[in-house]
């Protein structure tokens, strides 16, 4: 187990922060020791990951390797608390402060040692891959490979060969044998992201691989044993996919041994400020001066709805770093949210947008095309009573392509009404 080290001087000088952090840090660092000290103390020879704090007229954050020096003016400030958490978490560890997120991490830590599949549900951009890596890094397999596969990003014709491997000459262009992701992850963890996008025929082969612990490479006749832990992620309602025949029930129950659910960022507001500082640390080059995020800017971030979840927050912080141009503090003037997308109603009409006001100028062609495409798809779905297979036939596209289009519209912030 990890240990949170609060020095006596820290507890005395920074009591307001110490009490608040004590309820958060054990869930974030179950596997390593972290140290919070007063800046006046001598450097610790213990844990390398150290944050030294002191009161000062103006807040600042300075990075030196894996350690940080943090000056703060107000101990009760949301920015101070968020900066401490982000500094301790580093670049790849989960960053969280919301009670719901901390409970998920505590649960993930408990199940990491079990050799069971995990199914992580949640909207796009909520941190499912980060949670998957956390589980892998806390498991006995942490010294072995962690391989992530996005099932929606690989062409359907190539997915089987990339998952299970292939023999030389198994298909046109196979000039050499390929081991596939299952064998590449042997002994470790295989993350199957967007599992709902996997074709039905391939789902049957995946089920066999999970049940038998073996794969049959394309072009081979003999199975190959593999030892892989599966973590699957889905941003759609898998029980509904099963009910509508787009996902195998037996595979769903095989994967759903231990489900975890990540909610949208707007539903865990206490995570926003630490994540914002975490993105700031990630995207400020090593050696460059780290800006501070003002409380007013954090309040502006907390009030936003975040339809793009953590990915949208990352975009906003990267944009703010550019606009701040080396300034000591990121202020509300540097916060620019993604342009609100038009809302496509079930009736096919586009809801008015602030960008449609007279004199606002026309929309970019790509946005117009996307809105027109969404409108055509929604009208076709409505005429088919929401039946995707029938709508796909009328549109001249595959049902898989239709699902991908609907998911991309939602990800872009288009409020899709009607259909399923």
Residues 294-318 have pLDDT tens digits of 999 999 999 888 999 999 999 999 9
Instruction: Look at residue 357 in the predicted model and tell me its pLDDT.
Output: 37
- Across the range 221-228, mean pLDDT stands at 90
- Could you tell me the domains of the chain? 3-98+268-334 (1.10.8.60), 100-261 (3.40.50.300), 354-411 (1.10.10)
Instruction: Look at residue 413 in the predicted model and tell me its pLDDT.
Output: 59
* pLDDT tens digit sequence for 235-270: 989 999 999 999 999 999 999 999 999 999 999 999
Measured CA to CA, the distance from residue 49 to residue 347 in angstroms comes to 56
Output the DSSP codes for 215-257. E--BT-SS-EE---EEEEEESS-HHHHHHTTSS-HHHHHHHTT
Instruction: Provide the token pair at 191.
Output: 């993350």
Average pLDDT of the chain is 81
What is the pTM assigned to this prediction?
0.75
Measured CA to CA, the distance from residue 381 to residue 419 in angstroms comes to 6
């Amino acid at each position: 187990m990890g240990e949170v080290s609060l020095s006596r001087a820290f507890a005395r000088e920074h009591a307001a922060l110490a009490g608040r952090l004590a309820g958060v840090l054990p869930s974030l660092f179950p596997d390593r020791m972290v140290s919070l000290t007063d800046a006046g103390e001598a450097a610790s020879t213990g844990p390398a990951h150290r944050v030294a704090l002191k009161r000062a007229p103006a807040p600042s954050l300075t990075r030196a390797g894996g350690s940080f020096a943090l000056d703060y003016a107000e101990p009760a400030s949301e920015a101070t608390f968020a900066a401490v958490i982000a500094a301790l978490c580093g670049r790849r560890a989960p960053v969280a402060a919301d009670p719901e997120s901390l409970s998920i991490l505590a649960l993930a830590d408990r199940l990491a040692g079990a050799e069971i599949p995990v199914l992580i549900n949640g909207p796009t951009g909520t941190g499912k891959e980060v949670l998957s890596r956390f589980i892998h890094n806390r498991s006995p397999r942490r010294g072995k490979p962690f391989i992530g596969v996005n099932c929606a990003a690989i062409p359907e014709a190539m997915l089987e060969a990339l998952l299970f491997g292939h023999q030389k000459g198994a298909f046109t262009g196979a000039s050499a044998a390929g081991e596939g992701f299952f064998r590449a992850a042997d002994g470790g963890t295989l993350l199957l992201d967007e599992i709902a996008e996997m074709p039905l025929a391939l789902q049957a082969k995946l089920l066999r691989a999970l049940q038998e612990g073996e794969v049959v490479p394309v072009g081979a006749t003999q199975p190959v044993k593999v030892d892989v832990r599966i973590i699957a992620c889905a941003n759609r309602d898998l029980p509904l996919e099963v009910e509508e025949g787009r996902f195998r029930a037996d595979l769903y129950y095989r994967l759903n041994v231990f489900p975890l659910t990540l909610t949208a960022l707007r539903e865990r507001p206490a995570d926003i400020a630490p994540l914002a500082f975490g993105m700031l640390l990630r995207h400020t080059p090593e050696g460059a001066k780290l800006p501070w995020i003002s409380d007013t800017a954090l309040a502006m971030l907390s009030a936003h709805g975040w339809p793009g979840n953590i990915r949208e927050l990352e975009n906003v912080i990267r944009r703010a770093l550019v606009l701040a141009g080396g300034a000591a503090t990121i202020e509300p003037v540097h916060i620019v949210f993604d342009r609100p997308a038009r809302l496509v109603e079930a009736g096919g009409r586009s809801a008015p947008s602030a960008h449609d006001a007279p004199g606002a100028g026309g929309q970019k062609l790509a946005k117009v095309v996307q809105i027109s495409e969404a409108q055509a798809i929604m009208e076709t779905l409505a005429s088919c009573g929401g039946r995707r297979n029938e709508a796909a036939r009328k549109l001249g596209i595959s049902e898989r392509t239709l699902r991908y289009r609907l998911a991309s519209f939602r990800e872009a912030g288009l409020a899709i009404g009607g259909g399923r």
